[in-house]
Amino acid sequence: MRCFGSLKLYAPCVLRLVPSIATMLMVIGCNRYQPLPAITLIFVLAPGQNVSEADLAVNSSLPIHVSAKTLACDGSAYYKEYHASTPVHIFNERGNLIGSGRLGPGKIIKVSRSLNGIKLYRGCRFKSVIRLDEGARIYKMDIADGKYKDYLHASQMRALGGVVLIDLD
């Protein structure tokens, strides 16, 4: 029996097509990306090696500046654009803005103490939660008005649980 030899569709032929149609509809339906409610952004500025308090206080060429009293930090030298009020924008694959916020306050990352008891630091860590208006296939992150950009696919974002770590070392 030929299924498509004439314009008539025979019942056995239609029944053979049902699983194919169902599979196709399922694939189309599964291709939708579940929206994330928010992205937790962890952004780290690091000088490349651990530094001491004395290094942070006197070396202005390091990428971070630290308050001796509060241990709050922000970028300096080449990274001066990174501070608590640095803008963060999240776009979808079509370039539509789906979320925005700020880096938030920086906190120094203490690593350990050296053999002679000097505190060593790794860098400055910013953490913020950016609420999203909708999901995306590709999440485009723009930090400091384009100074730093990154792209993540929805599957990567889901695998990360919506937590993105960017480490400028």
Residue 139 reports pLDDT greater than 70:
yes
Average pLDDT over residues 135-161: 92
Where do the domains of the chain lie? 38-168
Going by pLDDT thresholds of 50, 70 and 90, the confidence category of residue 38 is: very high
- Residue 70 to residue 66: CA distance in whole angstroms: 8
pLDDT tens profile 82-120: 999 999 999 999 999 999 999 999 998 887 777 787 888
Model pTM score: 0.73
